[in-house]
A and B are shown apart, each in its own frame.
Chain A
Amino acid sequence: MIEPPAAEPLRARPGTPGADLGVGLFVVAIGLLTLYAAWAIPDSPIYAQVGATAVPILVGAALVLLGIALCVSASRGGWSGGLEEEMAAPPTNWRALGLLGAGLAVQLALIDWLGFVIAATIQYVLVCAAFGSRKPLRDLAIGIVVTLGAFLGFSRLLGVNIGAGVLEGIL
């Protein structure tokens, strides 16, 4: 259940317009990246009314304009400070985000080298810890069962190739 909001009026967090400006600039950057990539598409010798570059240029330009509009909105005080959900939200949990990020990084670094089962088990333990689990050994046991079950189910029963790895080679 969601608690009813406190009696005193919620105030926008200071510094939110700056974060909103960052969002606007990020959208402009994506638009510019799209335009750059569109510009890099070579001209096609095939005759066409609308070539391969027209729509990418259109989308890139639209993103730049939308990003600028977001920046303008941010400079007028921003929008995310007024969101009910954000005003009631707890502060950033760096520990949880860090452990989750580590879980993702481990998966990316190890999956081609040690295989899905080992990489995903380590990821499982790290993500459990990120969400406040205090029993890493129990998580390790559950993680091994879950990833092994998923691997065997996908690769043996369905024939989907989950790649090669240390454990996968033995099984």
Chain B
Amino acid sequence: MKIVVLVKHVPDAQFDRHLTGPGNTVDRDESILSELDEYALEAALQLSEARGGAKAGNEVIALSMGPAGAVNAVKKSLQIGASSGAHLSDDALAGSDAAATSLALAAAIRHLGADSPVDLVLTGMASTDGETSLVPAQLAERLGLPQVTFASSLEVNGERIVARRDGDAHADTVEASLPALVSVTDQINEPRYPNFKGILAAKKKKITALTLADIGVDAAQVGAAGSLTAVETAEARPPRTAGTIITDEGDAGIKLVEFLAAQKLL
């Protein structure tokens, strides 16, 4: 089985995050492998291992798109257990919106499937920076694949995928045949950490550097130029400041109600 897992290098949410530059794009200093992609990687590794792993010809390719630093998300994925990596990087990609991102990633996935077809594309449920959840659905549309998104469980039996998807009003069982695109939630598994052996092994694994020319995408189709939306203004919201803090002396519940009444919230 050949699985491509999308891994994004995102700003660490533990630090303040910023928008910068003319396109108001996210500042990527202090970035990490998106936590939500770790669940997709774990799902891929479990599927591969259940089929005998790399020895049995299973491949888990970690694919990232982004500036030089984004290769760190690929490296971390290799340490965790991916069999190889690919890093799509090109100055023209800067400022890509979901449409341009999905266009470039679709071309990269086609490229990775040129010698042998990709059976499964796995992604996290959303990036932890853009948070739109648009890219998985757009990729499925562009690649003509069935989309099984927000999977909280995933089984592959032969050519058939069975997943669970939790909605607000109902929980669905969803089925599709391979090849397919699956996005997974943080309910699906417990991602593993890289261990010492994995870190050593990763040094020998291959990372393919890809440019737009390699995947046959024109610079005008991506980046700010190829994006279908533009962020026009961005204003930092004043940070929330702490208000009144009291310590309960037996009457805090009553003081709380007085506060709510004063705020006209009752």
- B is a partner of A: no
